[in-house]
Amino acid sequence: MSVIRLSRASVGQEEKDAVGRVLDLGYLGMGAEVQALETELQAALGTQHEVICVSTGTAALHLAVSCLGLGPGDEVLVPTITYVASFQAVTATGATPVACEVTADRIFIDLEDAERRVTANTKAIMPVHYASDSSDMAAVYAFAERHGLRVIEDAAQSFGCERDGIAVGATGDILCFSFDGIKNITCGEGGAVVTGDPALAQRLRDARLLGVERDTEKRYSGQRSWDFDVSEQGFRYHMSNLMAAVGRAQLAKLPRFAERRRALARRYRQAFAGSNSVRLLDFDFEAIVPHIFVVRVNAGNRDALADHLRAHGIECGIHYKPNHLLTRFADGEARPVAEAAYAELISLPLHVELAEAEQDRVIEEVLGFLRGTPNA
């Protein structure tokens, strides 16, 4: 029995040729290929915002928090259901992530809960585009304006999506994308920060290269800075030409990738629409390009369903354990909506290479198992 993967990259000859081209050029570090990807990403987003490519999506988040000057004593509001990277990116600066409740229908940051967590130390809010959805961002920006906060959108899962009819990333304060091996497009690893703040963009460019001032311009022309100055904390977070070459090949495939992911999500929704055992989250698959497909099942059945699927060669996941339940971020306070969601969430296979016959097998096993359970 073949194993149905939860997620995987879709790469082919184009990516191999792109890597070979960079290998033949002989310079694998950050250079013109990275600059070209940044330009192409900016065009794909249809924005004048600046795009700064980095080594990972987590590096993008860390740089965003760091380059805003946040540190010990400062607080950032973050939904508790997100990958731990969101929280670790904040603590890496010395600032404190404040775990907020989520909404039951979208697993998005609950702004009513966030409101009561605002203090004089709150400096930013980091909404997470859970399962690629960011449809409630207008309310987040109104909240941020009311409290004088910067907005760092954790858009790790939403490259290629739209919001209010335009590309996610075309507008906004600061957005952080991920291009790791299983995202909507991949660079193998990689990420990007997008911002319309020119001063912040320059700090980000310098900080990704260990704080060496204006080194980006040298790298793009195939040179290095030898007589330079450093005045701020920096990190080795730049993207390499090899990664950018893969990303450029992937970006050209995004329209096909996006349609395939949406088509698979629509098939799932149609299959589960009449089920009382499977509850769907409230997402618009005409606007988003789903990175993961998440459903809710009765808490008493979720783990048994996961075991059943794995026993039948179907990978599944749980996105994510609430961060306030992790030892590092525990504060002793319950978040009942998030905890109830965590007990019910299960992610089903979704990737460009998923065949419809494989998806039908997933659907059949999910519905067949739940029909035989007393609590479904």
Give yes or no for a contact between 86 and 99, defined as CB atoms under 8 angstroms apart: no
Global pTM reads 0.96
**Which pLDDT score is estimated for 245?**
98
pLDDT at residue 26, rounded to an integer: 85
Is the pLDDT at 278 greater than 60? The verdict is yes
pLDDT score at 376: 53
Is residue 123 flagged as an active site residue? no
User: Cα(238)–Cα(58) distance, rounded to whole angstroms?
Assistant: 12
When pLDDT is averaged across residues 58-83 and rounded to a whole number, the result is 98
Tokens 């050029």 correspond to 25
Rounded to 10°, the helix 13-25/241-252 angle is 150
In this predicted model, what pLDDT tens digit does every residue of 311-336 receive, in sequence order?
A: 999 999 999 999 999 999 999 999 99
Q: How far apart are CA 82 and CA 319, in angstroms?
A: 7
Every domain of the chain and the residues it spans: 13-252, 254-371
CATH class, 13-252 region: alpha beta
Identified catalytic residue from 16, 183, 253, 321: 183
Instruction: Give the pLDDT of residue 331.
Output: 95
87 has a pLDDT exceeding 90: yes
Map residue 128 onto helix, strand or coil. Answer: strand
Q: What is the pLDDT of residue 228?
A: 93
| Mean of the per-residue pLDDT values of the chain | 96
Domains 13-252 and 254-371 agree in fold: no
Q: What angle, rounded to 10 degrees, do the helices at 356-371 and 299-311 form?
A: 130
Domain formed by 254-371, architecture: Alpha-Beta Complex (3.90)
Check if the beta carbon of residue 104 is closer than 8 Å to that of residue 337.
yes
Q: Whole-angstrom Cα distance, residue 99 to residue 218?
A: 41
CB 335 within 8 A of CB 101: yes
* Residue 359 contacts residue 346 (beta carbons within 8 Å): no
33 neighbors 222 (Cβ within 8 angstroms): no
For residue range 102-153, what is the model confidence (pLDDT) as tens digits? Answer: 999 999 999 999 999 999 999 999 999 999 999 999 999 999 999 999 999 9
Burial of residue 217, with CB atoms counted within 10 A of its CB: 0-12 exposed, 13-18 middle, 19 or more buried: exposed
The full length of the chain comes to: 376
pLDDT of residue 27: 87
